[in-house]
Structure 1
Amino acid sequence: MGKLSGIEVFVHTAEAKSFVAAGRVLGISASAVSKSISRLEERVSVRLFQRTTRSVRLTSEGEVFLERCRRIVEEVEEAESELSAMNDLPRGRLKVGLPLAAGLTLPLISEFMALYPEIELDLDFTDRVVDVIQEGYDVVIRGGALSDSSLVSKRLGSYRVCLVATPTYLSMRGTPTTPADLANHLCLHYRYPTSGKLEPWPLRPSRRNGTNFVLPMTIIASSVIALLHLVQDGLGIACVPDFAVKEAVAEGRLLTVLDAHMTRSVAFQIVWPCRKRMTPKLRAFVDFTMERFGSALATFSTPTSQHW
């Protein structure tokens, strides 16, 4: 088992290219990773990594060894998966990456845990694009396109971005009929907390006014929840995901504007590493999410702004 443990540490270090990152995935210290690699190199009498103060990279011998070790680790994972499947009960820890997304996934997580109490969830909420393999995620839900061939992905559904305001605000300030009209309105913006960038408003320019206008920066918030509170207090027009305001729009507390000028639609995907075996716990989470996630997304049958 000691030899097998050393091989697992080696594979994670090779994939992460860092003792620190490998330790984070394995739940051990970077020094423990370094010692495990040194013991393995002594045992095989070959240097597997070239080490610098900033990174580690495989030697040519290490690259050959890695391919064999990956197969060994995959065989062990498959054997564990088969044993777990015999119990027919998904169990164990699952590290899941989730979008901040205004609480979109929280009801789903509660429902999932009620169905699978033997699964232990390690949830990480973030708006950044995580490195699924290097950071040790079992599965991630995220928006946007997927370009990493080392990941498997399934489409969960899509949402659009919309502009909303309260009826009271629109009755006092007027309803914009072109994007240029927004220059005379109070505009509430979202700033990504990890990158510091503002989320752009995906507006199609009108033929008459083009794009020669600047959106007022009345309020900037790094929380969608805070932005929703502010817009429902009548403080201006906000650009938000439609699923975050579907109830408020359905109840008439918020109205959408400029629907015909909005151009952005974003697809949610669930992704996991190609080499990650579909253990019962992973399959349960993927199947459950595929079945239930779409119901949390919103579609507006009629643009509410047409009534103004």
Structure 2
Amino acid sequence: MHMPTISSQASNGPNGPNGPSGPPTTESLSGMVAFVRAAESGSFVAAGRALGLSASAVGKSVMRLEAKLGVQLLNRTTRRIGLTHEGARFFARCKRMLADLEEAENELFHSTSSPRGRLRISAPSLGTRLLLPLVPEFRRRYPDIELDIDFSDRVVDVTQEGYDAVIRTGRLADSQLLARPLAQYGPVIVGSPAYFAGHGEPATPGDLEGHACIRFRSPTSGRPEPWRFAREDHTFAIDPHATLTFNDMEAVLAACISGLGLACVPDFVAKSAIEGGMLRAVLGAHMRTEGVFQILWPPSRHEAPRLRAFIDHVASRLGGLPSHEVRFRAA
């Protein structure tokens, strides 16, 4: 995000530099810029590096803002800084205000035709298989956008942690975020040609008892995830005996490709291996698509052109779902 330059001169309007009322001053705006950068990075040093200032200058700017407001915004330790309760609320407002200012600048300089700036996205770790193939074309189309993607299964707070958008699956917590569906996915049972040559193919889910099964252990529950199947108008789950268990889906896939057993993985994870002949899907008549990837982002009166460009690009390439956008609320 492009932000105004921090001035070292205090504003001395009619209320003085620490006046409790009146319109925002240049000093207040500079303090907000420093505060947001420091809160996002967790460090005055990192914030100073981003703003082209010393850590001391950033720290003093935030202190002047705190003095003006009469409230502590950041907790300081020797290693890191973090938001206070009041600081978290103020951070969200500052982010929106600075985003509005940036959008106003974009409109003045006609930058909507060429989106630019830093874009922070959070995605699940398996999202690498969905998003990375889309990055080269996105970079060619939008060379002025700095794309920063955090691949992690940790649930982030979009607003407080400074993300522009998140990509998530499954049941989502109650939220005021906007959402757009990107792609459906479902489980698939796969094995290598070598494994099937030696052990045969299961014809029904019940046949899995006679096969070596490679299980994925959920990082949330700590237990192997059940294998889900469809029967007429309902689904059911089984827990096949595991000959191997991993807490990493890529390890599950690699072991399956090596011929060590059958695996139940998301279809997009196995897609390239199936197309390349390294794996073969079985029990397809017993499987059902059951998940949706969605991209979620905070509502804004002036949505940044770079965010719109990313949403449209990813949705169009992953495609097949209606392009409607909704304000998400959990059922």
Aligned match of 1:89: 114
The answer to whether residue 253 in structure 2 is matched with residue 228 in structure 1 is yes
The answer to whether residue 143 in structure 2 is matched with residue 117 in structure 1 is yes
**Identity of matched residues, %:** 42
The answer to whether residue 71 in structure 2 is matched with residue 47 in structure 1 is yes
The answer to whether residue 207 in structure 2 is matched with residue 181 in structure 1 is yes
Note the 1:71-110 alignment, pairs <5 A.
72-83=97-108, 85-86=110-111, 88-101=113-126, 103-110=129-136
**Counterparts of 2:152 and 2:74, CA distance in 1:** 33
Asked if 1 retains the 8 angstrom alpha-carbon contact of 2:227 and 2:239, the reply is: no
Asked if 2 retains the 8 angstrom alpha-carbon contact of 1:22 and 1:33, the reply is: no
Distance verdict in 2 for CA 1:58–1:75, change over 3 Å: same
Aligned match of 2:18: none
Residue from 47, 57, 64 that aligns with 2:85: 57
Residue from 238, 242, 259 that aligns with 2:284: 259
**Counterparts of 2:302 and 2:110, CA distance in 1:** 12
Aligned match of 2:153: 127
Asked if 2 retains the 8 angstrom alpha-carbon contact of 1:25 and 1:135, the reply is: no
SS at match of 1:94: strand
Q: Could you tell which deviates more after superposition, 91-100 or 167-176?
A: 167-176
Residue from 274, 288, 293 that aligns with 1:268: 293
Residue from 191, 195, 200 that aligns with 1:169: 195
Asked if 1 retains the 8 angstrom alpha-carbon contact of 2:180 and 2:294, the reply is: yes
Asked if 2 retains the 8 angstrom alpha-carbon contact of 1:187 and 1:219, the reply is: yes
CA deviation after TM superposition for structure 1 residue 263, in Å: 4.7
CA deviation after TM superposition for structure 1 residue 225, in Å: 2.9
Asked if 2 retains the 8 angstrom alpha-carbon contact of 1:22 and 1:134, the reply is: no
CA deviation after TM superposition for structure 1 residue 265, in Å: 1.5
Amino acid paired to 1:168: A
TM-score for both structures, normalised by structure 1: 0.73
In structure 1, the gaps of 5 or more residues are: 14-18, 296-308
Q: CA offsets per residue over residues 189-247 of structure 1, 9 Å max, x none? A: 223568755433223589xxx97x74222222333333222212211101111123234
Aligned match of 2:52: none
Amino acid paired to 1:223: D
CA deviation after TM superposition for structure 1 residue 48, in Å: 5.9
**Counterparts of 1:25 and 1:267, CA distance in 2:** 39
**Counterparts of 1:276 and 1:33, CA distance in 2:** 29
CA deviation after TM superposition for structure 1 residue 163, in Å: 0.7
TM-score for both structures, normalised by structure 2: 0.69
Q: Could you tell which deviates more after superposition, 216-225 or 50-59?
A: 50-59
Amino acid paired to 1:28: A
Distance verdict in 2 for CA 1:21–1:116, change over 3 Å: closer
Asked if 1 retains the 8 angstrom alpha-carbon contact of 2:166 and 2:296, the reply is: yes
Aligned match of 2:163: 137
CA deviation after TM superposition for structure 1 residue 250, in Å: 4.4
CA deviation after TM superposition for structure 1 residue 292, in Å: 0.9
**Counterparts of 1:161 and 1:188, CA distance in 2:** 14
SS at match of 1:105: helix
SS at match of 1:202: strand
Distance verdict in 2 for CA 1:127–1:36, change over 3 Å: same
Q: Could you tell which deviates more after superposition, 82-91 or 121-130?
A: 82-91
**Counterparts of 2:134 and 2:95, CA distance in 1:** 34
Distance verdict in 2 for CA 1:284–1:182, change over 3 Å: same
**Counterparts of 1:184 and 1:117, CA distance in 2:** 53
**Counterparts of 1:151 and 1:47, CA distance in 2:** 28
Aligned match of 2:47: 28
Q: Could you tell which deviates more after superposition, 129-138 or 95-104?
A: 95-104
**Counterparts of 1:283 and 1:26, CA distance in 2:** 31
Note the 1:267-306 alignment, pairs <5 A.
267-275=292-300, 277-294=302-319
SS at match of 1:203: strand
Distance verdict in 2 for CA 1:86–1:256, change over 3 Å: closer
Distance verdict in 2 for CA 1:129–1:200, change over 3 Å: farther
Asked if 1 retains the 8 angstrom alpha-carbon contact of 2:217 and 2:245, the reply is: yes
**Counterparts of 1:218 and 1:85, CA distance in 2:** 60
Amino acid paired to 1:130: V
CA deviation after TM superposition for structure 1 residue 34, in Å: 7.1
Amino acid paired to 1:88: S
